[in-house]
Amino acid sequence: MAQKSSTKDKYSILLPTYNERENLPLIIWLLVKSFTESGYDYEVIVIDDGSPDGTLEIAQQLQDIYGKDKIVLKPRAKKLGLGTAYIHGIKHATGNFIIIMDADLSHHPKFIPEFIKTQQENDYDVVSGTRYRGTGGVYGWDFKRKLISRGANYVTQILLRPGASDLTGSFRLYKKDVLHKLIDACVSKGYVFQMEMIIRARQLNYTIGEVPITFVDRVYGESKLGGNEIIGFVKGLLTLFATT
């Protein structure tokens, strides 16, 4: 029988930011609302990579509103990549569970209670949000962007057979000790990092649950996904295929 989660569980949300001053107040408000309503203990760790748009100043104002115990600021001097942002954030996390998500409102906090429930019912090591199963989906992308995402996922499924339906998504819940071990096992640091985390989890025999999510394209700001990221993804995919 699966272990039930204890009432002492705490969830640390890692929120890497770069030029998210418009999005940050709303995503923080939605997170606070979701956790307050569900009654789970939490903290939001904002890892800003030297945003020139004043994201950190907005984060400081939010910390004044919600309190330093709930909004924890761990900025870095410059943009160093997503993988290293999680490594930096987890060092300061006091929760025994870690939630990773985007700060641009593409991941809605309303799905988090379902992540927690799914984890508790089955004692999963990882719970991953999926756009490609059940009621999951993507809104606001043009055909080209959907094609790239679907294509990347499809090719990865064929080459690596990971046993999870959405590898390039970045909305997940991890047991903290499991995330530590996965980060240690991962070699990628960019866009491929999310995919490698699931591949390594399967390699290390960790259990993975999935929750259907709707992904909504960012309303404010520019997408960080460009040609370099796509080239990096293909290179990373081939490296993983050769080494796993």
Q: Are the CB atoms for 53 and 22 separated by under 8 Å? A: no
Predicted confidence (pLDDT) at residue 20 exceeds the cutoff of 50: yes
25-73 pLDDT, tens digit per residue, is 999 999 999 999 999 999 999 999 999 999 999 999 999 999 999 999 9
The answer to whether the CB of 9 falls within 8 A of the CB of 35 is: no
Give pLDDT, residue 26.
94
Q: Does residue 88 have a pLDDT over 80? A: yes
Dump the DSSP string for 2-31: PPPPPTT-EEEEEEEESS-TTTHHHHHHHH
The more confidently predicted of residues 87 and 220 is 87
pLDDT at 190: 64
CA distances (Å), 127 to each of 23, 61, 119, in order? 25, 32, 6
Q: Determine the average pLDDT of the residues in 166-182.
A: 90
Name the band, by pLDDT with cuts 50, 70 and 90, for residue 5.
Answer: very low
Residue 22 has pLDDT above 70, yes or no: yes
Distances from the Cα of 171 to the Cαs of 69, 97, 179, 236, in angstroms?
A: 23, 13, 14, 20
pLDDT at 66: 96
Higher pLDDT, 124 or 155: 124
- Residue-level length of the chain: 244
Which of the four pLDDT bands, split at 50, 70 and 90, describes residue 4?
very low
Best CA proximity match to 129, nearest among 171, 175, 191, 86 = 171
Angle between helices 227-243 and 193-203 (to 10 degrees): 20
Q: How high is the pLDDT of residue 49?
A: 94
Q: Please give the domain boundaries of the chain with CATH numbers for all domains.
A: 10-243 (3.90.550.10)
Q: What is the model's pTM?
A: 0.82
Higher-pLDDT residue of 116 and 154 is 116
What are the tokens at 222? Answer: 């520019």
% of the chain with per-residue pLDDT over 90? 54
Where residue 184 falls among pLDDT bands split at 50, 70, 90?
A: confident
pLDDT per position as a tens digit, 94-132: 999 999 999 988 899 999 999 999 999 999 999 999 988
Predicted confidence at residue 3, as pLDDT, reads: 44
Residue 82 pLDDT level (bands cut at 50, 70, 90): confident
Q: What is the pLDDT of residue 148?
A: 67
